[in-house]
Amino acid sequence: MKSIHLVAPSGASLDEKSPLAGIAWLEGQGFSIHNPQCVHRVHERFAGSDEERLRELNEISSLDPQSVVMAMRGGYGIHRLLQNIDWSSISKAVDHGLQICGHSDFTAFELGLLAKTGAMSLSGPMLNFDFGRMDEGGVAVTPDTFMWKHFLYAIQEHKLDCTISAAQSFLGENTSQSITGILWGGNLTVLASLIGTSYLPSSKQTQGGILFLEDVNEHPYRLERTLMQLLDAGVLAGQAAVLLGGFSAYRLYDNDKGYTLERAVEAIRQRLPQSIPIITDLPFGHQSNKLTLPVGAEATLDYNSTSFTLKSNW
């Protein structure tokens, strides 16, 4: 498998160099890149009009099933398209081997696909940041080796296997346990926006699941508020475990007076049933060292107070 088909269903690229650097790096690894022209589209803040972006998403159902579809970047835009996506045809393509990868705003597509059809997708790297990130001097940054290793392992071997050493402070009543359930989740803000719609996987689909969450540019109080929404909507209480990835690019203020992300997680821990562990430091999110996670696949989580292991084979 050496073919990546690009799609740009959300925001337009913030600069011209990032997508071109990402394409060049992937080509240097022997991958054939298809539909590169999508990275140049701009309509208002979006990577093309709604019609262009919808058509591009629906056309992936006719691709060579050995292709990997990769989103250019996140931002916002997929919510506009959800009601007109041909979920059934895309699901059939996935059944025949098509792999679809992205994160951030792409969470809306991945959860919609799972909710509507049960089909699996990959929450993982995207073109611009992960393969074409630029430093302050405008020079391309070499992609993270951890990210690249796990991306290749996912698309080539259809496996996830990662052990993380990190002290765990929010486990609840069980300080050591093995859990098996459906792995699902993505961007916290996007996931919460789907509550009450047909694009959020049902409680029946996700009961006893392993929910992973990440976000960017959100102050801890906003994260706490959104997690409280998931808690009050019954989403968190239906899980066997909650995995927290990166929550990056926010700043604290003087009036926080000691309130931090850890205090926000503590507030959720106090209300969440003690039988449901909250695991922190999952390498995933708007950060260079990210896993590629199979959304909708069965996974096993083994954890204790100092580390955790996440495995899946699909």
Among 130, 88, 84, 79, which residue's Cα sits nearest to residue 109?
79
Residue 217: phi, psi to the nearest 5?
A: 60, 30
Sorted by where each begins, the domain ranges of the chain are 3-143, 159-313
Burial bucket for residue 19 (CB in 10 Å: 0-12, 13-18, 19+)? buried
Q: What is the CA radius of gyration of the chain?
A: 19
Q: What is the pLDDT of residues 243-255, one digit of tens each?
A: 999 999 999 999 9
Query: Under CATH, what is the fold of the domain 3-143?
Result: Rossmann fold (3.40.50)
Q: Which of 13, 91, 286, 312 is catalytic?
A: 286
Q: Is 286 a catalytic residue?
A: yes
Question: What confidence score (pLDDT) does residue 68 get?
Answer: 98
Q: What is the pLDDT of residues 42-80, one digit of tens each?
A: 999 999 999 999 999 999 999 999 999 999 999 999 999
Residues of the chain above pLDDT 90, percent: 97
Q: Is 193 a catalytic residue?
A: no
Is 156 strand, coil or helix?
Answer: helix
Q: What is the pLDDT of residues 292-304, one digit of tens each?
A: 999 999 999 999 9
Q: Return the axis-axis angle of helices 220-232 and 261-271, rounded to nearest 10°.
A: 10
Q: What is the pLDDT of residues 151-196, one digit of tens each?
A: 999 999 999 999 999 999 999 999 999 999 999 999 999 999 999 9
Strand order in the sheet with 293-295: 32-34, 3-7, 68-71, 99-102, 121-123, 293-295
pLDDT above 70: residue 1? no
More confidently predicted of 112 and 2: 112
Question: What confidence score (pLDDT) does residue 218 get?
Answer: 97
Q: Is 43 a catalytic residue?
A: no
The CATH number of the domain covering residues in 159-313? 3.50.30.60
Q: Which of 110, 214, 218, 224 is catalytic?
A: 214
Structure tokens given for 266: 């503590």
Q: What is the pLDDT of residues 7-47, one digit of tens each?
A: 999 999 999 999 999 999 999 999 999 999 999 999 999 99
Q: What is the pLDDT of residues 96-142, one digit of tens each?
A: 999 999 999 999 999 999 999 999 999 999 999 999 998 988 899 99
Q: Which of 104, 121, 123, 312 is catalytic?
A: 104
Question: What confidence score (pLDDT) does residue 138 get?
Answer: 87
Distance CA 124, CA 284 (A): 8
